[in-house]
Amino acid sequence: MNNLNEKEKMLSGELYDANDAALVEERQRSKDLCFRYNQTQPSKMKERKGIIKTLFGKTEKMFLIEQPFYCDYGYNIEIGENFYTNVNVVILDCAKVTFGDNVFIAPNCGFYTVNHPLDVETRNKGLEYAKPITVGNNVWIGAGCSILPGVTIGDNVVIGAGSVVVKDIPSNVLAVGNPCKVIKEI
């Protein structure tokens, strides 16, 4: 018998109830921190950095996340050194989202770990599952990209603008499109 609570199920990739009171409370905390972050004057860099350090599971020294920024939980996000996101980035971090060093993300990108069952009855019960996303070192993700659950992007990769990444991308390539495909080695 499964004795995991809903958060443990979420973190282990099992079906879980997103309407669980503890998860709703954790998302509310994250939304409050995102609101505070997005309302902080852009020139107040020390305050902005402190909010992100409170929100994220792991940060390094050098990072910049332009406003607005949104996430589900925050504690499942880990960023490496020299991390940058432009405006309007969304990270739905129901599972771990890990970024390496020297990752640059253009505007309007989304990282979505959560997925919903195809079966309508299960889906309508509010059940969902999440798979981690991993982004390697020295990665540039162009504007308007969507990175979907369970994807790993290797090192030294460029993902072209508007791409929808539905499967793993190996290291040292340029990949573009919907679905995103490798078009050349770099």
116 counts as catalytic: yes
Is 1's pLDDT higher than 70? no
pLDDT tier at 97 (50, 70, 90 boundaries)?
A: very high
Distances in Å between the Cα of 170 and the Cα atoms of 105, 158, 186 are 18, 11, 11
Q: What pLDDT score does 100 carry?
A: 98
Annotated catalytic residue, options 27, 116, 125, 181: 116
What does the pLDDT average to over 42-49?
98
User: For 6-185, which CATH superfamily applies?
Assistant: Hexapeptide repeat proteins (2.160.10.10)
**Average pLDDT of the chain to the nearest whole number:** 97
DSSP conformational letter for 89: E
Alpha helices, DSSP H, located in 18-101:
21-39, 45-55
**Which pLDDT band, with edges at 50, 70 and 90, does 2 fall under?**
low
117-168, pLDDT tens digit by residue? 999 999 999 899 999 999 999 999 999 999 999 999 999 999 999 999 999 9
Whether 82 shows a pLDDT value over 80: the answer reads yes
What's residue 3's pLDDT?
87
